[in-house]
Copies of this chain bind each other. A is one copy, B any other.
């Protein structure tokens, strides 16, 4: 199942800024020349971190769009980007908003 936009065009800087403004605390980070959308989620326990990572991962699987999840003591970093455009696509912002609903 996928309800994500199917076009494979990357976003330009103005489009990224506009979409980013609709999100809370998501940073656009340049990593090895590629823009990614990243946010840190904090939790009181390690098990809460694991549960959140699993929830995000299962949601990702449902939409067949997979983030990088970094689980550490007390926090989980979630990073979205789109391999096919070597950067950010509208879908990444949709997935970021969905991620917030799980946090």
Contact = CB atoms under 8 A, between A and B. Distances in A.
B68 A72 contact: yes
Given A46-B57, A53-B53, A57-B46, A70 B73 contact: no
A28 interface: no
Number of copies of chain A assembled together: 2
Instruction: Tell me whether chain A's interface is mostly helix, strand or loop, or mixed.
Output: helix
A49 B71 CA distance: 13
A44 B26 CA distance: 30
Interface stretch (A3-11, A58-66, A95-103): A58-66
Interface residues of A, number: 17
A54 interface: yes
Nearest to A55: B50
